[in-house]
Structure formats: C-alpha cells, structure tokens
Amino acid sequence: MSPVRSPSGSPPNSYVRRLRVILIGALALALSVACSTSANSPGAAGGGADASTVTIVTPDTSIVWALDNGFGGYEPGKNLQATLLRKPYIDAKQGAGVQQQDVYKYEPYLASGYDVSPDGRTYTFHLSDAKSAVGNTLSADDVLWTYQRRFHTSTSVIPGVMAPSLTDPATQIKKIDAKTVSFTLPQAGLGTTFLALMSDLCGEIYDSTLLKQHVTADDPYAVKWSAQNPNFGYGPYTVTDYQPGVSAVLTARTDFILGPLAVKKINIRIVPDPGTRANAVKNGDAQIAEAVNPADSAALASDPSVVAPKVDNPNTFIMMPLVTNKAPFNNVAVRQAMAYAVPYSQIVDNVYRGLAKRNGPGFLLNDAPGYSNAGFPNYTYDPAKAKAMLAQAGFPDGVSFALAVSAAEPDMQEAAVQIQTAAKAAGFTVNINKMPAAQFAQQRVDHSSQSFILRDYAITLTPPYELLVYTGPGSTNNFADWQYPPFYDALAAGNKLPNALSPEAGKMWNAAEAIYLNQSPIVFIAQVQPSVLVSKSVAGYAWTSDNWIDYKNLRPAAG
C-alpha cells in the first residue's frame, strides 16, 4: 500500500547487519553514558526520608534570579544572595519550631560591622572576607558596582524602593579602602529605614569580579547574563539544577560565611494546584507548601504532622484602595462610609478561617518602638452608620462602583464576595471586576479602576517607610492616587527627627497616620498570616518581612 514500495526481495544482508551493529552500538553508548551520570539507586525515592533534603511545593512565581531583571518570585534567588546586614530571628509565641524576624534589629552579615558618623548621616561598613559562589572574596568594589548596576538598569525596581534614602549612588557611596565602604544619607532621620533596607533585598551584594567578565556592549552590567546564570552571589546556596516552570534544586555551599548549613539540598517543585500542595505536605510528599488556601490550612490545623505558622505581627495586609481621582471615591465622606461597610470579622473568619487578624484600622505595625496606634477612627462593620454617612454626603440612594480583583488570587475574590454581600446593607452596590493578573497590575499602576482589593506588604518595616509606600506623590504604587499635602507635611516633620524609632518620632508617625486613616484612601482590612504549611519534620521556618522563606534557617526537627 505504501507508495514507496521496497524493491522486491530482501535487502542485502550485510546492510541489515551493519544497521543492526550501529543501532546496538548507539544504544549501548547511550546506556553507558547515562548510567554513569545520574542513575537513581533503588530506595532513593523514600518519600522524604533523607532529613538533609527539604522539598518545597510552590505555585509558579516565575522565578527571577536577578532582582534588577524584573519582578517575580525572588525566594529562590534570595537564598543565593547575602546582604550587608540582617534581621535576627526569635521564636514565635506559637512554638512548634516557628520563628519570626525581629524587624527592628540590624545585625552584621556580609559586613562585619558598621559605624555611624556623629551627624548620623554617614554609615561606614567594614566588609567580611565572605567568599562568593565561585570563590571570589568580597570587596568594596562589589558594593559600588552592585549599586551602579541597580541604578542603571531600566528593569530595576531598586531606585523606586530605596528613595529617598539612596537616590544617587555615584555621590552617596564612597570606597574608603578595599574592605571599607560608606553611604551618606540626605538626613539622619532616614537612618533606620536605610539599615532596614540594607537587611532586605536591596542590601544584596553581587560578585562583581564574576559579572564583569560577562559584560557586553548590549548588556553593560551583565543583567541578562545573570538572569540565566544565577550563581553570582555570596549567599548560602547555589543552583545546581533549574528547569523553568518545573523545578529548581539548590545545594548548600560548604564555604558560606555563616558556617555549615543543616539542610544540604532544597528541592523546589512547581505545583499549580493549591489543594495538591497542601495535601503533599500532609501526606509527607513535601515538607513545605507555599501559597496554601486558608481553608486548607484551617482544615489541617489539627493534623499532628503539619503546622500552619502563626506569627505575632504578620506584615501582609488585605487592603481595599479607593481610587480618589474619580467618583465616587473622590468624596472623602464616601470613602469613610465604605470603611464602615466592610465586614472585617466576616472576612477574617470566613475567608481566612482565623488565619488573619485585625489590630485596628491602620497599616503601621503596632509593635514599632516608640509608636502607638491609639486615637484612630474606629472603623467597624456598621451598615446603618455607613448608610447615614452616604445620605449625608448626598447619596441617599446609595453608590455603585467597580471593585477590581486579580483572577490569580482566589482569597481576594472570596473577600470581594463577602464585601459585596455585606455592603449592600450600607447602600453600596459593588460590581466585582475580575481580571487577569497582568491587567490588574496595569490598572493598579495607572489607577484606572474605581477601587481594588489586594494583598500586599511593605518589606521594609519602619514607620516612615510604611507611611510612604502606598502614598508617594506620583508613585505607581500609590494605589488610591491620593496626594494630600497635610499628610506629606506631617511625614516630613517626623523625618526631621534624628531617630525614627524614638518616642518623639512615634508621636509624629501617629499624627501622620491619623490623617491617612481619616482621609481613608485605603481601607486596611486585616493582617494575614503566612500562607505556608510546614511539616513537623522540619524546624526553623521563620516569618520574614519579605515573606520569602530563608532556607538557611531550616533544620531537621529534633526527635
């Protein structure tokens, strides 16, 4: 039937024999090559029996290895890097091996120490002899070059994050000698925020000796190269296998500056379904699950083999920005009424199953030294009051508006549904506008929706930073497009004081935040616990202000 008929009779025997020899040879070669490199010995798949390996299941966060090459999942990348300073860990009240960062202490890490000048504006860092993943020793040039790169790359988010502490590295950062480098700030009051920044992502220092070898005319800071070659840091782990969208394997370094690590291998697996991630930890197929649904965490709360970490003061907030550049939320009374129409406790109970809490109406963490959250408006769910306020503001028949929510965040959609139902009684008609994550990001940036609901956090936890993170004039991060001079004046008054964590400064922050909340551009709904599940076989999960897990702190649980 084939149109290409084989010639009658069988082909010459020698041909067949030769073909057979070639085939067998090729197969044997493939077998021998393959066996020698990666064969798994029987019994290797013990389901997590090896205590020095931790398997983490996570949704696809589109891992970004270089902070200045876009915004994405930084967690694996963060564990390849080390920062000049770090915030120490303390045990959480919950116990069970759960820890949390003390966000107001800044200890040496890559820097062996730092001095502050008498005027409080210049910080001089003394560098340790940390070795990079490829064996280069840390130097002042690394620090200088790293900040040069970050401030001269169009895809870098760092300049926006570090303003106003650091705006011009060329004049603000000075190399004193090969192991000493100084940073000069515009005013002393920014010092605490600066130290916090140097303990977070912005404090990561890259191996400039390695990166400079891969600089090209198109890529003057080797940003593109480093996106594909992640091992350019001084941190605890190196990437030994990476398949985008599938898995990553991180292996512990033996010459890491803080000494040997308890967990030798981190196995990251991308698992899109949240229910499956939770189940995998419950059944012992993985040790840590990330981005777990609150309902699943709550359902597993009584499971003896799993712990859902609860920390004292999580920094992730559910918030509802009310965009002030258009009706109806250009009217402050309508914004305030909305703050009385949100069913706070219902969201905490129904959506987060108790894995969230409301410490008052504000956004500043209430445990900051010198600060108090007293005297703010008492926003609670009070539909009658909201309705009366709306009527007084000239809307006796109520108000209708669009609430944008990202399709990628199921808990936000659930919260939106709770708000929609509850706000009806207050005269608000909420039209939920679910959209793809990219479209949501765009509307957030250009402030085009009437309102949003989202989950977000400030990485740097100092009062002045938190106050400015969603209110910066002209900032894309100013969700509500709210620019209010009296608030900026109050903030500036606080920044004039030399110590941001002093009681005097605390009063200033309280006054500024009172303006913020009375104007109600953003309804802060509740603080959400970390959305992770940890197997009891692993200890040392620590909440961090960036909410990315610090692998070097993990260890097999005792017993």
Partner 1 sequence: MTVLLQIPPAPSAPAARRRLPPGVLSLALVPAALLVLVALVGPLVLPYSPVDVVDKPDLLPGAAHWFGTDASGMDVFSRTVAATRTNLLIGLATTVVATAVGVLIGLVVGMNEAHRGPLGLLARGTSRALDLLQALPAIVIGLVLIAFFGASVPSLILALSLILMPNQARLVRAEVLRVRGEAYLDAARMSGESELVLVLRHVLPNSAWPAWENTSLVFGSAIVLTAGLGFLGVGLPPPAPEWGSMIAIGAPDAASGRWWSALFPAIALALTVFAASAVGRRLFGDD
Partner 2 sequence: MAGLWAHHGWWIRRLAMLPVHLVLFAVIVFFLVKLIPGDPVAVLSGGQTMTPEQYQAARAALGLSGSLPAQLGTFLGRTATLDLGNSVISGTGVLSEMLTRLPETVELAVLAMVVSLVLTLVLGFLVMLRPRALVSRTVASYSRAAGALPDFCLGVAGIFLFYSVLRWAPAPIGRYDPLLNAPTHTTGFPFLDALLSGDAVLMRSMLAHLWLPVGVLVVAYAPMLIKLFIRSLQQARDAQATTFRIASGASRSMVLLSITRRALPATVAMFGTIFGFMVGGAVVVEQLFAIPGMGEYAVQAVTRSDFVALRGFLLVVGFLSLLVFFFVDVVTMLLDPRRRSGAAVTGG
Q: Which residues between 223 and 282 bind partner 1 (CB under 8 A)?
A: 273-276, 278-279
| Window 416-435: contact mask with partner 2 (x via CB under 8 A) | --------------------
Q: Which of 61, 439, 475, 518 binds partner 1 (CB under 8 A)?
A: 439
Please tell me whether residue 476 binds partner 2 under the rule CB under 8 A.
yes
> Minimum CB separation from partner 1 for residue 279, in Å?
6
Please tell me whether residue 420 binds partner 1 under the rule CB under 8 A.
yes
Please tell me whether residue 486 binds partner 1 under the rule CB under 8 A.
no
What is the Cα–Cα distance from 183 to 185, expressed in whole angstroms? 7
Please tell me whether residue 290 binds partner 1 under the rule CB under 8 A.
no
Under a CB-based contact definition with an 8 Å cutoff, are residues 523 and 342 in contact?
yes
Under a CB-based contact definition with an 8 Å cutoff, are residues 285 and 270 in contact?
no
Q: Which is nearer to partner 1, 235 or 274 (CB)?
A: 274
How many residues touch partner 2 under the rule CB under 8 A: the total is 77
**Residue 417, binding choice from partner 1, partner 2, none, Cβ under 5 to 8 Å by partner class:** partner 1
> Minimum CB separation from partner 1 for residue 62, in Å?
16
Q: Which of 14, 41, 171, 254 binds partner 2 (CB under 8 A)?
A: 41
Q: Under rule CB under 8 A, which residues in 441-470 are in contact with partner 2?
A: 441-442, 444-446
Question: 527-540 burial by CB neighbour count: b if 16+ within 10 A, else e?
Answer: bbbbbbbbbbbbbb
Q: Which of 6, 13, 40, 254 binds partner 2 (CB under 8 A)?
A: 40
Please tell me whether residue 293 binds partner 1 under the rule CB under 8 A.
yes
Give strand ranges (E) for 415-510: 428-435, 451-452, 454-456
What is the Cα–Cα distance from 249 to 252, expressed in whole angstroms? 10
Return the SS3 of 448: coil
Q: Under rule CB under 8 A, which residues in 235-264 are in contact with partner 2?
A: 241, 243-247
Q: Which is nearer to partner 2, 55 or 208 (CB)?
A: 55
Q: Which of 96, 215, 227, 257 binds partner 2 (CB under 8 A)?
A: 227
The contacts of residue 11 (CB under 8 Å, 6+ apart) are none
Q: Any bridge partners for residue 434, and if so which?
A: 405
If you ran DSSP here, which 8-state letter would residue 80 be given?
A: T
| Window 303-342: contact mask with partner 1 (x via CB under 8 A) | ----------------------------------------
**Residue 243, binding choice from partner 2, partner 1, none, Cβ under 5 to 8 Å by partner class:** partner 2
Q: Which of 354, 436, 486, 503 binds partner 1 (CB under 8 A)?
A: 436
> Minimum CB separation from partner 2 for residue 46, in Å?
7
Under a CB-based contact definition with an 8 Å cutoff, are residues 165 and 193 in contact?
yes
Return the SS3 of 53: strand
Pick the closest to residue 196 from 123, 90, 146 (CA basis).
123
Q: Under rule CB under 8 A, which residues in 493-532 are in contact with partner 2?
A: none
Q: Which is nearer to partner 2, 130 or 278 (CB)?
A: 278
Under a CB-based contact definition with an 8 Å cutoff, are residues 59 and 272 in contact?
yes
Please tell me whether residue 2 binds partner 2 under the rule CB under 8 A.
yes
Q: Which of 22, 23, 27, 178 binds partner 2 (CB under 8 A)?
A: 27
Strands 180-184 and 122-127: antiparallel
**Does a cis peptide bond (omega within 30 degrees of 0) precede residue 361?**
no
What is the Cα–Cα distance from 200 to 193, expressed in whole angstroms? 11
Please tell me whether residue 433 binds partner 1 under the rule CB under 8 A.
yes
Q: Which is nearer to partner 1, 169 or 274 (CB)?
A: 274
Stretch that binds partner 1, among 16-24, 169-177, 333-341, 412-420 (CB under 8 A): 412-420
Q: Which of 175, 424, 455, 555 binds partner 1 (CB under 8 A)?
A: 424
CA dist list (Å): 329 to 78, 274, 451, 476, 526: 39, 35, 8, 18, 21
Q: Which is nearer to partner 2, 327 or 437 (CB)?
A: 437
Please tell me whether residue 351 binds partner 1 under the rule CB under 8 A.
yes
Q: Under rule CB under 8 A, which residues in 382-411 are in contact with partner 2?
A: 407-408
Give me 435's structure tokens.
């959209």
Please tell me whether residue 360 binds partner 1 under the rule CB under 8 A.
no
Q: Which of 393, 407, 441, 493 binds partner 1 (CB under 8 A)?
A: 407
Under a CB-based contact definition with an 8 Å cutoff, are residues 401 and 390 in contact?
no
**Residue 346, binding choice from partner 1, partner 2, none, Cβ under 5 to 8 Å by partner class:** partner 1
What is the Cα–Cα distance from 415 to 429, expressed in whole angstroms? 15
Please tell me whether residue 416 binds partner 1 under the rule CB under 8 A.
yes
Pick the closest to residue 147 from 202, 197, 211 (CA basis).
202
Give strand ranges (E) for 135-233: 173-177, 180-184
Residue with tokens 């200033």: 508
- DSSP for 507-549, written as a single string: HHHHHHHHHHHHH-SEEEEEEE----EEETTEE--EE-TT---
> Minimum CB separation from partner 1 for residue 364, in Å?
30
What is the Cα–Cα distance from 521 to 321, expressed in whole angstroms? 6
Stretch that binds partner 1, among 59-67, 83-91, 290-298, 377-385 (CB under 8 A): 290-298
Q: Compute the C-alpha angle 178/180/186, nearest 5°.
A: 130
**Residue 410, binding choice from partner 2, partner 1, none, Cβ under 5 to 8 Å by partner class:** partner 1
Under a CB-based contact definition with an 8 Å cutoff, are residues 319 and 325 in contact?
no
What is the Cα–Cα distance from 547 to 530, expressed in whole angstroms? 7
| Window 109-148: contact mask with partner 2 (x via CB under 8 A) | ----------------------------------------
> Minimum CB separation from partner 2 for residue 440, in Å?
8
Residue with tokens 């503001």: 393
The H or E element containing residue 332 is helix 332-339
Which stretches of the chain bind partner 1, using CB under 8 A? 273-276, 278-279, 293, 295-296, 299, 346, 350-351, 405, 407-408, 410, 413-414, 416-418, 420-422, 424, 432-436, 439
